[in-house]
Structure formats: structure tokens, C-alpha cells
Chain A
Amino acid sequence: EAQVTQNPRYLITVTGKKLTVTCSQNMNHEYMSWYRQDPGLGLRQIYYSMNVEVTDKGDVPEGYKVSRKEKRNFPLILESPSPNQTSLYFCASTPKGSGKGEAFFGQGTRLTVV
């Protein structure tokens, strides 16, 4: 089954404790992306990746890091989480190609930083 898998689904952590949210896709998609969603603000893009070792900032990259060492994985790293990073996070993948672009989203990771 084609899917994007995020882990964990729920996470409560303390300020300053480094964490990683994993994202994996099994569709051999070139593009992957991370979003955060906050009430009243919709979905905002954090980082995106066009291929292995190619990443770029989205609209709200501060406080986050990403890496793309393998095509299927795109982890989101919070080196020193703060309470304002409490949010619902989504990973997405998309195939490359003109006219394509259907993005597949994971089920989300609800992060609480206390």
C-alpha cells in the first residue's frame, strides 16, 4: 500500500530536549516536505526536499533541521524544542513530473513541548 509513515504519532517532551520525527515513504517520490499546522494559521511549510541531499527552507524553518540522506526518508529534527513548537506536524511526498503533483500526506505527529 502506498503510504507516508510518520513516527511517533504523539509526543510530549520538555523544552530543550532534542527530538526527531521520522518520515518514510514507499512510493519512490522525489519530493518530500514538512508542514506544521496551528489553529487559525492553516498549514505552513517548514522545509522541503527535491531529492537526496537537496533541501530548502519553506516559510517557517526557524528552530528545525532536516536531512535527506535516502530517497525514502526525510526526518525532522528539533535540536532544542521550545513551547512555541507545540503543533501538529505533517510530512508529505510528491512524484516529480510535469502535470503530476498529487501529494501524499502522513497521518500527522502531534507534538507538545512543555
Chain B
Amino acid sequence: DSGVTQTPKHLITATGQRVTLRCSPRSGDLSVYWYQQSLDQGLQFLIQYYNGEERAKGNILERFSAQQFPDLHSELNLSSLELGDSALYFCASSVGGQGNYGYTFGSGTRLTVV
């Protein structure tokens, strides 16, 4: 157990729907990072939050949004889902606001859009 908790582990939904992925960081970590892993794109950085504020944004679609709550858990919202959004979504956390010291990953949420 890495200490980073992601729920749900699996999610199957239809095109056009909206889903919410949840992440609880490791105790003491203030930063949360979201990554998307797909066969054709590899691991793509989506977004980072640090202590409740957005810190960095990567290749995140406008249909996707995220937030970090006062208790530091984070949610990634995916809307108007398309077949191509099917992927593994990972959350990672780190103590500081910069990921250059490495971070701890959760076990991921596998999203299947049908």
C-alpha cells in the first residue's frame, strides 16, 4: 500500500456521460498530480494541485477538470466522455509543490467508456 488511495478502481460508463475520480494523497503530502496512461499516449501529465490551488497544467482537455479540497483529497471530473478517454488514470502525491523530488502513485482508476 503506497498510502495514496484512489477510488473507484474500475469504472465503466457510456459515451457522453460524466464521471468523478477521487484521490486521497499520502498523509503529509500537499501536492496531488493526475496522470492519464493509455496505450498510444503513454503517461501524460494532466494537472497538479498544491495545498488547494492549481499549480501546473498539462495536456488536460477542456472537458476535464479537477480540484483539491481543504482536506487535501482531490477529484478529477471527466465529462462528455468519448471512447478515446478510456485509460488508466493515476493520482500521485508529494510533500512539496515541486515534483522534481519524485512522488508516490496510487493504484489507479481504470476507466472504460463504451
Q: Please say whether chains A and B are actual partners in one complex.
A: no
